[in-house]
Amino acid sequence: MLKRILLAAGGLALVLYLLPPPPPAESVREGRLVLGTLVTVKLYGDAEVVRLPVERAYAALDRVDSLMSRYRDDGALRRLEQSAQKGVQTPAQLGAVLARSQRFAALTGGAFDCTVGALSRLWNFPAALAPPDSAAVDSALALVGYEGLQVEGEIVRIGRPGTRLDLGAAAKGYAVDRMVAVFEEAGIAGGLIDAGGDIRYWGAKPDGRSWVFGVQHPRDPTRHIEVGDLGLAAIATSGDYQQYFEWEGARYHHLLDPRTGYPARACVSATVWAGTALDADILSTAVFVLGPERGLALVAELEGVEALVFYERDGQLEYRASAGVAGRFRFME
């Protein structure tokens, strides 16, 4: 309702019209299956205005899939594996992700390693029902080693014949970043993208409320951990509950340690906040493999990165958090 108030000021009557607050911006949602997962977009704005940027954003996502999926025999990643011993020029986006992957491979001493493709194919998650033969693991492990991958701008060389690449712990995060870039260039003031747990937001909510995120409890699917806005736009979680099978009383999951050839055992889950979804994606895997102590030590050395790690000790679930997360989360039923 329009209200009118009369104020007397210096003998003059000032008429102020107090308009009701504008309605909150419309929330627009879209979800599609890409990169083997459901990618959901939530935007604030008129549905007709955002329609074209949404299509462009998903086209950018498809482009990343064509460049970096290890499941596409006609993709750029497969062509690179077949010819890179001599050094080949790669698409700029692929070269950028490989370069970033190599940086974190060096920082983690190979706990993160995109040359793990032979092991990924051997274990064959999520279809796997039993662990592979140890001799087969040793043979695949011999093809792994980030030191044999050279990235100089868009020129890439693979020094070890038979090496296979796996960007599964990086491509999804990079794709989310590309989608955000499309929306920002289109002038979309705020929104959130969730690609199977790789999340990035930008801008502010129309109602002024802070962003709050729920992290899945790693052992109780009916509970979650609520974490307030840390001022870092991207979040990613790696957990042993996402793709796994049980064999002779042990859990085998898809998060392989590139140094041993077997699933990493030090963590149950690792959630990482960073400035980009690419970095959060890579580092959630790296921290998971490194374990709580070494993983959080790495996080402490990096600017603009935080982490929450769950692990088991003597059959009990425990957790540790980086300085920026400690005291800023709570367990919810």
Supply the pLDDT for residue 7: 33
Q: What is the pLDDT of residues 53-100, one digit of tens each?
A: 999 999 999 999 999 998 888 888 988 988 877 888 999 999 999 999
Does the pLDDT of residue 1 top 60, yes or no? no
Q: What is the pLDDT of residues 142-164, one digit of tens each?
A: 999 999 999 998 899 998 899 99
Q: Which of 101, 78, 103, 102 is nearest to 90 (CA)?
A: 78
| pTM of structure | 0.89
CA triple 244-103-256, angle to 5 deg: 15
Q: What is the pLDDT of residues 245-300, one digit of tens each?
A: 999 999 999 999 999 999 999 999 999 999 999 999 999 999 999 999 999 999 99
Please state which of the ranges 17-26, 34-43, 225-234 shows the lowest mean pLDDT.
17-26
Q: What is the pLDDT of residues 265-278, one digit of tens each?
A: 999 999 999 999 99
Domain 71-158 has CATH 1.10.3720.10: no
Domain boundaries, the chain: 71-158, 210-333
Supply the pLDDT for residue 292: 98
- Domains 71-158 and 210-333 fall in the same CATH topology: no
Q: CATH says 210-333 is which class?
A: alpha beta
Query: Which amino acid belongs to residue 206?
Result: P
The contacts of residue 4 (CB under 8 Å, 6+ apart) are 15, 16, 17, 18
Does the pLDDT of residue 17 top 60, yes or no? no
The span from the CA of 80 to the CA of 150, in Å, is: 12
Mean pLDDT of 305-316: 96
